[in-house]
């Protein structure tokens, strides 16, 4: 879900940027690079503050609108907990997707898009019929890299209230391995979890390397 949301939002931002002029493209690019440069620890504490049960913006806004009467602790429920983690991951990861897809969009021949528009193809049809096939390798790379990065998410979970082991329902593989090893002194079990995570990442890396090699071979065969 994190990968899908990150790639989708990043692609939408890239489509927005490619339609802007040089000045506004620079403004938007600078804004998203600031989001990308923000450390994961800092970004996590910002989201914790936003959803804080006592002084968070979300609780205050919902209560002022009359949508709820009492503050809600969003970090005790696994669904809402990972909803916040999802927002945090997308906020930190979409700039890479946006910049990468933007670089690919600039290389798509404008003549093809203009011809499709003259033939009556709408924006959605042009995107799926021309842009997606042209950027197939770009999307493959950003999806695989985003998957690898999201599997290794640690700070976004560990720093959340309850994410350091107090609420074991919200542990992912990386945090679970750390908690078992250094929190419970069960180094064998923690190592087993780490090995499992490594095998999963190795399998994803093999797919990534094969995609890169396939792209290189395609470029060499293109006259």
- Rounded to whole angstroms, how far apart are CA atoms 219 and 222? 5
Domain interval for residue 28: 2-221
Reply yes or no on whether the pLDDT at 34 is more than 60.
Answer: yes
**pLDDT confidence of 188, banded at 50, 70, 90?**
very high
Q: How many domains does the chain have?
A: 1
Is residue 65 classed exposed, middle or buried when 0-12, 13-18 and 19+ CB atoms within 10 A define those classes? exposed
Provide the whole-model pTM: 0.84
Q: What is the CATH number of the domain that holds 128?
A: 1.10.3720.10
pLDDT at 79: 92
pLDDT of residue 216: 62
Please, are residues 76 and 52 in contact by the beta-carbon 8 Å criterion? no
Closest by CA to 194, choosing from 165, 148, 152, 146, is 152
The predicted structure's pLDDT at residue 99? 92
Residue 13 pLDDT level (bands cut at 50, 70, 90): very high
pLDDT at residue 223 is higher than 80: no
Percent of the chain with pLDDT over 90: 30
- The mean predicted confidence, pLDDT, of the chain is 87
Residue 148 scores a pLDDT above 90: no
């Amino acid at each position: 879900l994190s990968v899908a949301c990150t790639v989708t939002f990043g692609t939408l931002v890239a489509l927005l940027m490619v339609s802007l002029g040089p000045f506004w493209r620079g403004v938007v690019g600078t804004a998203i690079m600031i989001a990308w440069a923000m450390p994961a620890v800092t970004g996590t504490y910002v989201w914790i503050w936003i959803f804080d049960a006592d002084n968070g913006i979300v609780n205050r806004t919902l209560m002022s609108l009359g949508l709820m009467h009492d503050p809600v602790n969003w970090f005790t429920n696994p669904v809402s907990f990972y909803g916040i983690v999802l927002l945090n991951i997308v906020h930190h990861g979409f700039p890479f997707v946006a910049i990468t897809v933007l670089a690919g969009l600039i290389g798509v021949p404008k003549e093809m898009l203009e011809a499709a528009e003259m033939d009556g193809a709408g924006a959605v049809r042009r995107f799926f019929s021309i842009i997606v096939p042209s950027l197939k390798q770009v999307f493959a790379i950003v999806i695989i890299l985003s998957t690898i990065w999201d599997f290794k998410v640690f700070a976004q979970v560990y720093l959340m209230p309850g994410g350091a082991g107090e609420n074991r329902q919200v542990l992912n593989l990386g945090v679970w391995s750390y908690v078992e090893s250094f929190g419970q002194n069960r180094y064998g079990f923690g190592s087993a979890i780490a090995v499992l995570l490594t095998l999963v990442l190795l399998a994803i890396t093999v797919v990534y390397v094969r995609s890169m090699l396939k792209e290189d071979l395609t470029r060499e065969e293109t006259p």
